Amino acid sequence: MKNSFVFRSIGVGLLAFTCSGLAQANGGWEKLEGQKSILLSNPNGEQVTIGTVEFTPLNSESKAFKVTLAEDRMQEYFLAMRPFKCVSGTTQQYCLFPVSNEPAVISKTDLTTLEYQLMFMKTKPNALHVNPFNGLYYSLSLENNGEIRGVQKDLDMDPFITPDAVPADKKLRPVNGKDLVAADPRSSWMPEMVIR
């Protein structure tokens, strides 16, 4: 009888702990509303705000979003005969290469469309050309406090620059895990992204 009570108590405790964990995880999703700032940063403490994202709930599982660039930080440059919005440091320049093949919508378990709109190509400051092998992709994850954190990966942008070579079933989302290599934070100007 005593053991039965102990097991019931443990069961109730585990259930409460599990529910608390789920509530905490879902709390991050619930806090992801309204306008949030997009910041790039590095371990040296350098930080730059490149714009904002406005999140609008569609239902309990999905949210629409709209990215707006900070015009005072993202300057327009002509590289390879086309305009890019770029942010410059002393040794590197990040030029935004947004891809919007799908509606601007994310879900609790899928932030890919936002990742695609926040891709960059890395160049030298004042460069005249871009190299598709110097693509930068931030793998995003939602935190329990409602912030989105991104870890920078190196990416070959060729599938986006020459989409005709991409198989039809991969045109919407040509990036897969095999294409992404963790960027070296020692040689990358802004290896971290946070949306808060």
Sign of the alpha-carbon dihedral angle for 47, 93, 158, 79: positive
Asked whether 107 and 85 are in contact (CB, 8 A), the reply is no
Cα–Cα distance for residue pair 118/96, rounded to 1 Å: 7
Using CA atoms, how far apart are residues 106 and 53, in angstroms rounded to an integer? 12
pTM, two decimals, is: 0.83
The predicted pLDDT at position 26 comes to 61
Residues 32-87 pLDDT 10s: 999 999 999 999 999 999 999 999 999 999 999 999 999 999 999 888 778 999 99
Residue spans of the chain under pLDDT 50? 2-25
pLDDT at 175: 87
pLDDT of residue 17: 35
Domain ranges of the chain: 31-195
Q: Which of 169, 172, 175 is nearest to 137 (CA)?
A: 175
